[in-house]
Amino acid sequence: MDVRKYCGDNNNSIIVSALFVLDRLLKWRAFTNPPSPQDGFFVYHQNPGIAFSLPLPPVSLITLLILGVATVAWFYIQQRKKSARHALPYLLILAGAVSNIIDRPLSGGVIDYFFLSPLGLYFNLADVMIVGGMITIVITEMCLKIPNYKHQIPNKPQ
């Protein structure tokens, strides 16, 4: 079975939408029925600040969120003109950001539901989408700077 025909360029939005819905469902589950005890991997943690729980005044937070989402949306549109594959990292970042933004008025902060106790790190699937998109962009940009680098797109299945 060739999975490329199911995960081609046209299905990026379906995959990202599924991740978005899964994140929203996990947040709802953690918020409405907080896990007990709170010392496992699946927890409920509310983050009123920005990344890594850094506090930020509300006006600065709103301004930063609007500028950040607008910038990523602009890059998404520019990359989408090239191909859906180039736009995927930006779509992941947008979906993750929107999911985290939705939390703020509903619960007073971003809902995190995963906990890595060795690192003391709380996060959610939206955070993974944002970081994954950013890492993909950085790696792609680094590869484009390598002399004689040829990005080869595999042949599409018939």
The residue annotated as part of the active site, out of 2, 9, 23, 112, is 112
Residue 155 lies in a domain: no
Kind of pairing between the strands at 110-116 and 121-123: antiparallel
Residue 156 lies in a domain: no
- Average pLDDT (120-139) is 94
Residue 57 lies in a domain: yes
Q: Give the tokens for residue 58.
A: 């509300």
Dist CA 42 CA 29 (whole Å) = 10
**The pTM is what?**
0.82
Residue 24 lies in a domain: yes
Summarised one tens digit per residue, pLDDT across range 6-33 is 444 568 889 999 999 999 999 999 999 9
User: How many structural domains are present in the chain?
Assistant: 1
Residue 16 lies in a domain: yes
Dist CA 134 CA 120 (whole Å) = 22
Dist CA 87 CA 44 (whole Å) = 32
Residues of the domain holding 97: 3-144
Residue 150 lies in a domain: no
Q: Establish whether 127 is a catalytic residue.
A: yes
Query: pLDDT class for 119, splitting at 50, 70, 90?
Result: confident
Residue 93 lies in a domain: yes
Q: Whose structure tokens read 């360029």?
A: 9
The residue annotated as part of the active site, out of 23, 39, 103, 127, is 127
Rounded to the nearest 10 degrees, the angle between the axes of helix 125-144 and helix 12-32 is 150
pLDDT of residue 7: 47
Q: Establish whether 112 is a catalytic residue.
A: yes
User: Is the separation of the CB atoms in 92 and 130 below 8 Å?
Assistant: yes
Residue 135 lies in a domain: yes
